[in-house]
Chains A and B, each alone.
Chain A
């Protein structure tokens, strides 16, 4: 058909059109005819790499192994407002109180947009209860628990490995395309145009060897190539940084990236550097990196979003909001900004505004169970009762296993709102049955049991909730209240202390504590 078109031309064209499999096929044929065809080798290498490319500037979830072997011991108890592990502690923290806005598992305020790493707790070095960190990490990692709160990849950058293996199976017919351990990397480093694609290939694709070994290969290649380029090539330094990061040598990575940034001011480098700072739990450093870069690149959305995420994580609500508004001014269809603004409006008691944002999301084509559930809640709180249930119906129809518990939990909230406690209980039960670790549902279920005068069941609900998650202060407060009512002052005191540890300004807990103190003194 395309008789006289050069196969390499066609392969290049296919590569440009992202038809990787056809491109790989063409190159394989060419390589069969001429095994030392550099061009075909180059194109095939690129195609395989692009197939399994992932954007690694986003902060990824840390594997359990990473957490266990983490030896970057930064301050155990960070100063207020300087750590993502201790959010809402800064003087500038203007976040909403946890009574109004629920918390994620890590104790950060719930954000409107789920990214890797936002949902799961980062039981890092600065966690308040050092003993529980490991347990929490392992709890999240246990496969098959049906826990909707993301399960952690077991190994370091487990996602990397999984992606790699999938594409390799498709690409290689019996054996990988390039056996990096057999190559003379020094020779390749001297050939700049082959070296770069080879480096990317090892970095993104070649995961069949052990990962550390793999990264060492990258380091070797990049080290030779940097020397070859006279230590002036930012790209090789960035690759060095990336490899160091993967190996967990964060400080070395930082050094390389900073040096690369001196060579050429690239956005990628800023993102990578900020990622390292975040990983080291130095959000303020990451913030300043972002804001400096934003000064040099005015109007860059990625930098603004990076700042906004960090501010939100630190609990600086106003700052995050302003940044999200800036993002929207630049890119009116940025889903993340819209979702975060909507969530904020919802939690600051403006369901009508949140409703508009969510409707916009829906019109933009973000049709998901979560959107519908949020719409339903907004409708309910905005008084548009006639839409509420059709929204929830759609949400239920769209929802997968991960979203269902939360949707039932929200329906239960609505049921409480309209006073149908029996229905509410059924909803919470469903939520708890679908996700046995749904602490909020268990808490509400416990409160309802309490209303039915079944303190035993209520107590067991609270206990189950506390076992499932340790970030919900309501559970502790309710358990304390129950214990107090039953006369178990000891238990009440310990629970109220737990609640206050999670949320030091909770008025009811403080009052209960005062009351308990008075009673104990009277004794």
Chain B
């Protein structure tokens, strides 16, 4: 992360598909030009040696002074005074050869290289270091480190001596510190080791050959000197990290001006500075991965330009501390001055080597080389990088259009139901409008029941956005959902199969996802047509059960009341019925075989229902009461509006006989008995299963046994048990079906009882609902607790609360819900509830107190 980016002054690409490494670059006035221009020398692993001299900004062909192939890979280049004649020449390290070349200018734009001397190396070379070893003046010597830890010293044309380093595994970077005349390298053990040149040179001269021979025979690296004077490390420091590069230079600011150079070690995650005695002066943990480094003299004083950069430890007098240039793998270039980060710049490339040199008279140019062969000369510009941030809104803003867009978006948001708080909408009118809009969004459910049944019973549900009030009449209810909002109406046809006929109404619930992906739900209660359950047949006489209800109106015509039923009836009979408009008898035949007949007594407005099954009557009675109420309401609405007659008392149905409790109780008993039978069958089945399983187990044990015991008729027993299980299962299935039927009959009976109770005691709708909840007509079968238990609990509750006669009643404890042993208590409680109702106690507190109030008033008179 840096504010600035480096600027490229000159760059070129060296060859194609060539590789370069740390040591592949050297900068020196290699041709000993009199004007002292430094040249950039590069050598690739492919063995191509090049010399460049940038003249001006941008690359030009004449910048290349030399390009030649040396046939061997170039591992490292070094420029220096290797001849002793004060002229700079070039040392080139090949894997098995060290060569020193002199380069001379031919004319103005070419260089010519000539080999001065070369040494063949016995061992594969890793790297080399140069310097005035042993403190000699005027000439530099070369040391080559090989892969088996041999340091070979060359003094110009002669090979001086070679030594094996102790405990060696892998060559690390090698540097020569002139001030202490020692070599610094890092070992495979992540340590930094320094060897004095004098120590190396003095180590067992005569025996060394011998030792070397031994080791060559052994074929392994030497484990320290065998005898004589051992090679001993001057000092060892554990760095704990592998060194990438080792340089010498003066980094620490607070040392004396004549202090000797420091050792700079660029490790993988840390940058260390040590003094020549191997003490850590400075550590800097790097938060990036460093690639390479180069110390360079800072400040205005850089008169010693080119040679200083080529070999910075040569002259150290009166120089300010050096800066350190570090290139990172995050493509940045850091300049450190002591501890301080003086400059950071972004870099376009990922260099393997950086140098600082004076090129073409310009001080402090950075030369960087990456491993694919891009060579660039850079400087640290102060211009910020180009992709800077600009807010400039180029186009003129069209506020009107933006406002219009905003409004459109707001309406969309509002329409999607995500309306935020709009101050304008706080006004009640707007709120109402919003409410209406929200309502219009709801799904409209309409159920249309065909006036004529299709082959299968079918109920049609329509979904869509039609207005709620639109009347759609279509053939068999499949019409369009209404004209107003025809667009987007989708019809859904759902077939509902009815199995339980204890209810004459049903509920349709539709769950759907609205456009804004919200789950919504809408429901509709629906009266099922009577035609679903029964048919009109010629009158029959079966009067096992009778119920007579009275009305306070004249008798209505049955044919008119049940007109829709005729449609489905047998044509002949329908005709007969419709002809005799005043028929006073009508019979219905249920799907289950029950028959119900309605007899009308014309004068008194009384209706008698008779049937062969008690339970079957409730539907007819309910339909009758519903239709009668509807009939008279319709008949009286018109004349009442037209003639302002005196209002007759509202239509009501009464029932004056005693409630048919005994019939209901019979149903209860039957249901209960079936439950008991089912439970018994269940238990028997369980026993048989246990038996079956234990027989199986025994059989298994016998079969597994190697010396099996005789079966002892176990197989017979098993077969017998199996048959019993099958029988029991069939029996249970039967019982279950019967229980279901009994439950339905019970439900129907309770319905009838409820209706009659209502007629008898003239219960208000609210009260009726309450009673209905307590004495529920819905018979839910449970494994242990069923209708009987729940109803008894409800009855007990009623007796304790609304129908309580005294505080004692109210205090009675409620037993927990448990399976009942018999139905006596239930019957007693039901009759008790009905008896109390007959005595004028009411379920709803308000109405009863009202009654009480009027009674009190009467008493006062």
Q: Are B189 and A193 in contact (CB under 8 A)?
A: yes
- Inside 8 A of B423's CB, which chain A residues have their CB? 421-422
The complex places the Cα of A298 from the Cα of B169 at a distance, in Å, of: 36
Given contacts A9-B75, A266-B283, contact A42 B170 (CB under 8 A): yes
Q: Are A267 and B75 in contact (CB under 8 A)?
A: no
B340 CB-CB contact with A under 8 Å: yes
- Inside 8 A of B418's CB, which chain A residues have their CB? 426, 429
Residue in B17, B75, B269 whose CB lies within 8 Å of A1: B17
Most chain B CB atoms below 10 A, which of A39, A238, A335, A359: A39
- Inside 8 A of B285's CB, which chain A residues have their CB? 57, 267-268, 271, 300, 302
Contact flags (1/0) for B379-408 with A, using CB distance below 8 Å? 000001100110101000000000000000
Q: Are A192 and B46 in contact (CB under 8 A)?
A: no
B307 CB-CB contact with A under 8 Å: no
Find residues 464-506 in chain A having any chain B CB closer than 8 Å to their own CB. Answer: none
Q: Are B2 and A448 in contact (CB under 8 A)?
A: no
A17 CB-CB contact with B under 8 Å: yes
Residue in B95, B240, B289, B341 whose CB lies within 8 Å of A331: B341
Q: Are A333 and B280 in contact (CB under 8 A)?
A: no
A43 CB-CB contact with B under 8 Å: yes
Least CB distance, B326 to chain A, in whole angstroms = 13
B91 CB-CB contact with A under 8 Å: no
- Inside 8 A of A514's CB, which chain B residues have their CB? none
The complex places the Cα of A55 from the Cα of B269 at a distance, in Å, of: 9
- Inside 8 A of B238's CB, which chain A residues have their CB? 233-235, 264
Q: A424's closest neighbor in chain B, by CB? A: B420
Q: Are B169 and A193 in contact (CB under 8 A)?
A: yes
Residue in B46, B95, B188, B189 whose CB lies within 8 Å of A9: B95
Q: A366's closest neighbor in chain B, by CB? A: B1
Determine the main DSSP class of A at the interface with B: helix
Given contacts A5-B73, A196-B190, A423-B420, contact A363 B389 (CB under 8 A): yes
The complex places the Cα of A194 from the Cα of B221 at a distance, in Å, of: 14
A208 CB-CB contact with B under 8 Å: no
A332 CB-CB contact with B under 8 Å: yes
Contact flags (1/0) for A221-248 with B, using CB distance below 8 Å? 0000000000001110010000000000
- Inside 8 A of B189's CB, which chain A residues have their CB? 192-193, 195-196
Least CB distance, B687 to chain A, in whole angstroms = 49
Q: Are B188 and A265 in contact (CB under 8 A)?
A: no
Given contacts A233-B238, A238-B240, contact A330 B339 (CB under 8 A): yes
B338 CB-CB contact with A under 8 Å: yes
Given contacts A9-B126, A55-B269, A266-B283, contact A2 B46 (CB under 8 A): yes
The complex places the Cα of A46 from the Cα of B96 at a distance, in Å, of: 26
The complex places the Cα of A360 from the Cα of B410 at a distance, in Å, of: 37
Q: Are B169 and A39 in contact (CB under 8 A)?
A: yes
For chain A, give the interface size range.
35 or more
Q: B220's closest neighbor in chain A, by CB? A: A38
Determine the main DSSP class of B at the interface with A: loop
Find residues 123-173 in chain A having any chain B CB closer than 8 Å to their own CB. Answer: none
Given contacts A194-B169, A235-B190, A364-B2, contact A425 B421 (CB under 8 A): yes
- Inside 8 A of A197's CB, which chain B residues have their CB? 188, 190
Residue in B45, B282, B341, B371 whose CB lies within 8 Å of A330: B341
Q: Are A192 and B167 in contact (CB under 8 A)?
A: yes
B766 CB-CB contact with A under 8 Å: no
Given contacts A235-B190, A363-B384, contact A448 B289 (CB under 8 A): no
Least CB distance, A240 to chain B, in whole angstroms = 13
Least CB distance, A242 to chain B, in whole angstroms = 11
Least CB distance, B416 to chain A, in whole angstroms = 11
A299 CB-CB contact with B under 8 Å: yes
Residue in B21, B22, B339, B384 whose CB lies within 8 Å of A300: B339
Residue in A9, A55, A193, A233 whose CB lies within 8 Å of B124: A9
Least CB distance, A272 to chain B, in whole angstroms = 12
Q: Are B269 and A5 in contact (CB under 8 A)?
A: no
The complex places the Cα of A359 from the Cα of B391 at a distance, in Å, of: 12
Number of A-B contacts (CB under 8 A): 165
Q: Are A425 and B188 in contact (CB under 8 A)?
A: no
Most chain A CB atoms below 10 A, which of B22, B242, B282, B420: B420
A390 CB-CB contact with B under 8 Å: yes
- Inside 8 A of A451's CB, which chain B residues have their CB? 421
For chain B, give the interface size range.
35 or more
Least CB distance, B113 to chain A, in whole angstroms = 20
Given contacts A8-B147, A267-B270, A426-B420, contact A331 B340 (CB under 8 A): yes
Given contacts A1-B46, A39-B169, contact A193 B187 (CB under 8 A): yes
Least CB distance, A166 to chain B, in whole angstroms = 18
The complex places the Cα of A6 from the Cα of B341 at a distance, in Å, of: 38
Q: A234's closest neighbor in chain B, by CB? A: B238
A297 CB-CB contact with B under 8 Å: yes
Q: Are A12 and B170 in contact (CB under 8 A)?
A: yes
Contact flags (1/0) for A195-229 with B, using CB distance below 8 Å? 11100000000000000000000000000000000
A50 CB-CB contact with B under 8 Å: yes
A452 CB-CB contact with B under 8 Å: yes
- Inside 8 A of B705's CB, which chain A residues have their CB? none
The complex places the Cα of A436 from the Cα of B217 at a distance, in Å, of: 75
The complex places the Cα of A268 from the Cα of B626 at a distance, in Å, of: 92
Q: Are A421 and B147 in contact (CB under 8 A)?
A: no
Q: Are B2 and A333 in contact (CB under 8 A)?
A: yes
Most chain B CB atoms below 10 A, which of A16, A298, A331, A335: A16
Given contacts A16-B21, A39-B169, contact A335 B393 (CB under 8 A): no
- Inside 8 A of B270's CB, which chain A residues have their CB? 267-268
Q: Are B338 and A193 in contact (CB under 8 A)?
A: no
The complex places the Cα of A6 from the Cα of B423 at a distance, in Å, of: 81
The complex places the Cα of A13 from the Cα of B127 at a distance, in Å, of: 11
A18 CB-CB contact with B under 8 Å: yes
Q: Are A38 and B169 in contact (CB under 8 A)?
A: yes
Given contacts A2-B19, A299-B338, contact A42 B420 (CB under 8 A): no
A385 CB-CB contact with B under 8 Å: no
Q: Are A6 and B147 in contact (CB under 8 A)?
A: yes
The complex places the Cα of A73 from the Cα of B174 at a distance, in Å, of: 51
Q: Are B340 and A16 in contact (CB under 8 A)?
A: no
Find residues 72-114 in chain A having any chain B CB closer than 8 Å to their own CB. Answer: none
The complex places the Cα of A233 from the Cα of B269 at a distance, in Å, of: 19
- Inside 8 A of A387's CB, which chain B residues have their CB? 391
A4 CB-CB contact with B under 8 Å: yes
Q: B393's closest neighbor in chain A, by CB? A: A390
Given contacts A299-B338, A333-B1, contact A365 B283 (CB under 8 A): no
Q: Are A50 and B268 in contact (CB under 8 A)?
A: yes
- Inside 8 A of A249's CB, which chain B residues have their CB? none
- Inside 8 A of A364's CB, which chain B residues have their CB? 1-3
- Inside 8 A of B627's CB, which chain A residues have their CB? none
Given contacts A4-B72, A299-B339, contact A235 B1 (CB under 8 A): no
Contact flags (1/0) for A384-401 with B, using CB distance below 8 Å? 001100100000000000
Least CB distance, B301 to chain A, in whole angstroms = 23
The complex places the Cα of A302 from the Cα of B346 at a distance, in Å, of: 22
B13 CB-CB contact with A under 8 Å: no
A515 CB-CB contact with B under 8 Å: no
Q: Are B284 and A300 in contact (CB under 8 A)?
A: yes
- Inside 8 A of A4's CB, which chain B residues have their CB? 72-73, 94-96
The complex places the Cα of A368 from the Cα of B283 at a distance, in Å, of: 32
Residue in A235, A266, A268, A330 whose CB lies within 8 Å of B340: A330
Q: Are B124 and A6 in contact (CB under 8 A)?
A: yes
List 17 contacting pairs A-B, 8 Å CB cutoff, sorted by A. Answer: A1-B17, A3-B73, A4-B73, A5-B73, A16-B244, A38-B169, A39-B169, A42-B170, A196-B240, A299-B338, A299-B339, A301-B284, A330-B341, A331-B341, A363-B388, A422-B420, A452-B421
The 6 A-B pairs of least Cβ separation, nearest first, read A422-B420, A299-B339, A193-B188, A193-B189, A425-B420, A331-B341
Q: Which residues of B contact A (CB under 8 A)?
A: 1-3, 17, 19, 21-22, 45-46, 72-73, 75, 94-96, 124, 126, 147, 167, 169-171, 187-191, 237-238, 240, 242, 244, 268-270, 280, 282-285, 287, 289, 291, 329, 338-341, 344, 346, 352, 371, 384-385, 388-389, 391, 393, 410, 413, 418-423
